[in-house]
Amino acid sequence: MDIIVCIKQVPNTTNVQIDHETGRLKRDGVESIINPFDEYAVEEGVRIKEKIGAKVTVITMGPPQAEAALREAIAKGADEGVLVSDRAFGGADTLATSYALSTAIKSLGKFDMVICGKQASDGDTAQVGPGIAEMLDIPHVAYVKKAEAADDKTIKVERMMEDGYDLIESALPVLLTVVKEINNPRVASLKGKMAAKKAVIKILDAATIGADALKIGLNGSPTQVMKIFTPPQRTGGEKFTGEAREVAAALVKRLSDLSLI
């Protein structure tokens, strides 16, 4: 079985500081990591490989430094890394990104399954996974919390919904976007780290994958950023400081005055 896992390198924003003057993130010294949701996608690919045998190829679109994310995925059990990188891809929205990745995946040859994280932690759109499936002309199931390959033609999955979960069977090839409930990603083994160090990352540019120049980068992006702004802050209200007992009493009095208690 050939499995493609799509990942994205994102800034690690779990511990970032906000610059109080500009109200923006302080980016200095922020490390780059694999999008946390994609860690589950990599792990699921590797688990299927361990269970029924498969080749797991991780693919990412990004600047040359995104290679580090691919090596990290290889350290965690993926077999090969593919970097889709070209200045011409710059400024892509979700449609142009879906096009570039689907075109790159097609150029790699046969595949049975594509796995993505449910969304990236920086953009939070959840649009690229289903977009890739559409452009590859294969079915997709989003929000997958369990996947079981029945045979080499079908797969059964559990799809998380707001009120429970749906059981869905899909023909292969299929694209799945996975949620964190699906597994517990492993830490890289020493052997994996060695493999990651030695791995040769395949680099694909727009010409190599035969991408249509009108469908990539800003050219291929129907959406455009009109403006970016810091949202107006809700103006602060009353501040209570002092002994816990006093501030608690002061608050409860306010709420009681407003008939909320």
**Interface residues for another protein in 223-252 (CB under 8 A)?**
223-231, 233-242, 244-245, 247-249, 251-252
- Part of the chain binding another protein (CB under 8 A), chosen from 27-35, 68-76, 103-111, 194-202: 27-35
DSSP string, 56-109: EEEEEES-GGGHHHHHHHHHTT--EEEEE--GGGTT--HHHHHHHHHHHHHHT-
User: Of residues 30-49, which lie at the interface with another protein (CB under 8 A)?
Assistant: 30, 36
How far, CA to CA in Å, does 22 sit from each of 155, 200, 229, 230? 49, 42, 10, 8
Member of 60, 103, 170, 183 binding another protein (CB under 8 A): 170
- Determine how many CB atoms are found less than 10 A away from the CB of residue 191: 10
CB nearer another protein, residue 23 or residue 194: 23
Member of 57, 60, 183, 221 binding another protein (CB under 8 A): 221
Q: State how beta strands 202-204 and 140-149 pair.
A: unpaired
Q: How far is the CB of 42 from another protein (least distance, A)?
A: 17
Phi (first) and psi of residue 247, to 5 degrees: -65, -35
- Determine how many CB atoms are found less than 10 A away from the CB of residue 161: 9
Structure tokens, 34: 């694999």
CB nearer another protein, residue 190 or residue 243: 243
CB nearer another protein, residue 194 or residue 248: 248
* 50 contacts another protein (rule: CB under 8 A): no
User: Of residues 111-150, which lie at the interface with another protein (CB under 8 A)?
Assistant: 119, 121-131, 133-135, 138-143
Q: How far is the CB of 45 from another protein (least distance, A)?
A: 20
